[in-house]
Amino acid sequence: MRSYKFRIYPSKAQEKELRHHLWVSKELWNKLLEANKQKYSEETKFLTNGEMQEAVKGSYLYSQVAQTLSHRLHNALWRMIKLRKQGKECGFPRFKNIDRIKSLNYPQSGFSLDEKLKVTPFGELSIVKHRRINGKIRCMALKKEASGKWFAIFCVEQEENLPGENKGIKVGVDLGLMRFATLSDGAVIKNPLHLKKHEDKLALIQKRLSEKKKGSFNRKKARIHVARVFEKVVNTRTDFLHKASTLLVNSYSIIVLEKLSSREMAERQFGKQINDAGWGMFANMLAYKAESAGCHVVFVNPKDTTKECSNCRNLTKKELRERMHTCPFCGLSMDRDLNAARVILKRATDPKGRAMRQQAHSTAGTAGSNASGDVAVAMSMKEDAACFNR
């Protein structure tokens, strides 16, 4: 499955109707949530999915949009119960204000796409199709961004075409903050520092936003200004990550990364910089692009990759400020990030690294090897890539 996102331009009348549908969605969500909380307090159980589907019949919303919203709430409530049974603290889903309802979801019908997008009950919407859709459209969502822009997002089912084998070389990738990535062959991908470039401007316009009277039209305009700057940051980051990931999958047969948890790392240190770098999104892009490019993405145990020597495998402690790796055992001296990238590659491809690969696979589900032991293959590239967001 692939997703396609296109900008749409509703007329003033259509946008007014779209906003009204979002408001009705908010009211319906809150009504269903209140009914479930009331039933749970009285009987310690929720409305069944069938009862909730019956409750949304006759709604102002298109029937499938209302049913999808009901189904989402039903799933959220049961996830809450599941987490509580696991001993985790988890509260009820939140009541939503109008700013927290951003999309209308059409799971099967109610829309068609040609030169224009036809959507029940809004009629024809102008759409900018900047690329061709390959495959069969399964579902669609109309989404309003914080910047006020509207988009149509299509979920497309594509035929599985087995790609030809990528004959490129293997590469280890060390992700970082000073440099976005250092490759084991010596290549470097610079970190564009997307957010840092806009920090001064954001500080200024956010200060202006805080000075506006709540509920005023000027505050609304200032909030949209802030949202559009953040949107620009997100767009430039996404564009950079797409280009970097495409370059790698087209150039190498096996791409090896550390199986990091960027969310946990961000909670400990350098959170803003790690989130701005977009490691998790980058790993996900590599995983799904590798399928069509005929290459493999492998995730290995990240323990001590900066301490280990890529030549003799001995460990040497380093301070964060030390940018060179100098091994007291074999005398190897090189950039610490380049050394780490080569260690990462060896953990997946060097037969001597078998024990480390097996340990990584048993503890983190990272990588295994083939019968000859010379190539490590990811057991599930997408599942491993998801670890970056945990």
Dihedrals φ, ψ of 109, to 5°? -140, 180
Average pLDDT over residues 381-387: 54
Residue 30 pLDDT more than 70?
Answer: yes
Q: What does the pLDDT read at residue 179?
A: 93
* 173 and 144 in a common domain: no
Residue 162 lies in a domain: no
Q: What does the pLDDT read at residue 336?
A: 92
Dihedrals φ, ψ of 180, to 5°? -65, -45
Q: What does the pLDDT read at residue 115?
A: 86
Distance between alpha carbon 213 and the CA centroid of its chain, in Å?
35
Average pLDDT over residues 48-73: 93
Q: What does the pLDDT read at residue 160?
A: 72
Domain final residue pick, 157, 189, 221: 157
The sheet with strand 252-258 has its strands ordered as 188-190, 179-183, 169-175, 252-258, 296-300
**Residue linked to tokens 């696991």:** 86
Tell me what percent of the residues of the chain surpass a pLDDT of 70.
Answer: 86
Residues 265-290 pLDDT 10s: 766 677 888 889 999 899 999 998 98
Residue 390 pLDDT more than 90?
Answer: no
pLDDT-based confidence at 39, cuts 50/70/90?
A: very high
The secondary element (H helix, E strand) that includes residue 235 is helix 217-251
Task: Determine the Cα–Cα distance for residues 310 and 332; give it in Å rounded to an integer.
Answer: 9
Half-sphere exposure of 145 (CA within 13 A, CB side): 22
* 283 and 195 in a common domain: yes
Q: What does the pLDDT read at residue 158?
A: 83
* 237 and 119 in a common domain: no
Residue 108 lies in a domain: yes
C-beta neighbour count of 234 within 10 angstroms: 15
Residue 75 pLDDT more than 50?
Answer: yes
Q: What does the pLDDT read at residue 381?
A: 53
* 341 and 250 in a common domain: yes
Average pLDDT over residues 250-257: 92
279: nearest Cα among 184, 180, 374: 180
Higher per-residue pLDDT: 308 or 162 = 308
pLDDT-based confidence at 361, cuts 50/70/90?
A: very low
Half-sphere exposure of 324 (CA within 13 A, CB side): 7
Q: What does the pLDDT read at residue 260?
A: 79
Residue 122 lies in a domain: yes
What is the average pLDDT value for the chain, to the nearest integer? 86
* 149 and 185 in a common domain: no
Domain final residue pick, 129, 157, 185: 157
* 268 and 214 in a common domain: yes
166: nearest Cα among 299, 340, 286: 286
Q: Looking at this protein, which amino acid is placed at residue 298?
A: V
Task: Determine the Cα–Cα distance for residues 384 and 378; give it in Å rounded to an integer.
Answer: 8
Residues 149-201 pLDDT 10s: 999 999 999 877 666 666 678 999 999 999 999 999 999 999 999 999 999 99
The DSSP secondary-structure symbol of 351 reads: G
Q: What does the pLDDT read at residue 384?
A: 57
Q: What does the pLDDT read at residue 274?
A: 85
52: nearest Cα among 249, 270, 62, 39: 39
Number of helices followed by number of strands (H, E) in the chain: 11, 16
Residue 351 pLDDT more than 70?
Answer: no
Answer for the pair 142, 103: CB distance below 8 angstroms, yes or no. yes
User: Could you tell me the CA-to-CA distances from 236 to 152, 192, 223, 263, 277 in Å, in that order?
Assistant: 20, 9, 20, 21, 11
Q: What does the pLDDT read at residue 238?
A: 95
The secondary element (H helix, E strand) that includes residue 170 is strand 169-175
* 113 and 182 in a common domain: no
Q: What does the pLDDT read at residue 346?
A: 92
Residue 164 lies in a domain: no
pLDDT-based confidence at 359, cuts 50/70/90?
A: very low
Q: What does the pLDDT read at residue 291?
A: 82
The DSSP secondary-structure symbol of 352 reads: G
User: Could you tell me the CA-to-CA distances from 124 to 103, 117, 180 in Å, in that order?
Assistant: 18, 5, 43
Task: Determine the Cα–Cα distance for residues 35 and 37; give it in Å rounded to an integer.
Answer: 6
Structure tokens at 96: 């939503």
Q: Looking at this protein, which amino acid is placed at residue 384?
A: D
pLDDT-based confidence at 82, cuts 50/70/90?
A: very high
For 96, the domain range is: 2-157
Domain final residue pick, 123, 157, 191: 157
Q: What does the pLDDT read at residue 55?
A: 92
First-to-last alpha carbon distance for the chain, in angstroms, is 22
* 141 and 22 in a common domain: yes
* 195 and 152 in a common domain: no
Domain count across the chain: 2
Dihedrals φ, ψ of 271, to 5°? -60, -45
Q: Where are the alpha helices (DSSP H) in 252-367?
A: 262-268, 271-277, 279-293, 336-349, 354-364
Residue 376 pLDDT more than 70?
Answer: no
User: Could you tell me the CA-to-CA distances from 355 to 298, 375, 384 in Å, in that order?
Assistant: 16, 14, 20
Residue 61 lies in a domain: yes
Task: Determine the Cα–Cα distance for residues 316 and 329; give it in Å rounded to an integer.
Answer: 9
Residue 379 pLDDT more than 50?
Answer: no
Residues 88-114 pLDDT 10s: 888 999 999 988 999 999 998 999 998
Please tell me the chain's helix, strand, coil percentages from 3-state DSSP, rounded to the nearest 5: 45, 20, 30
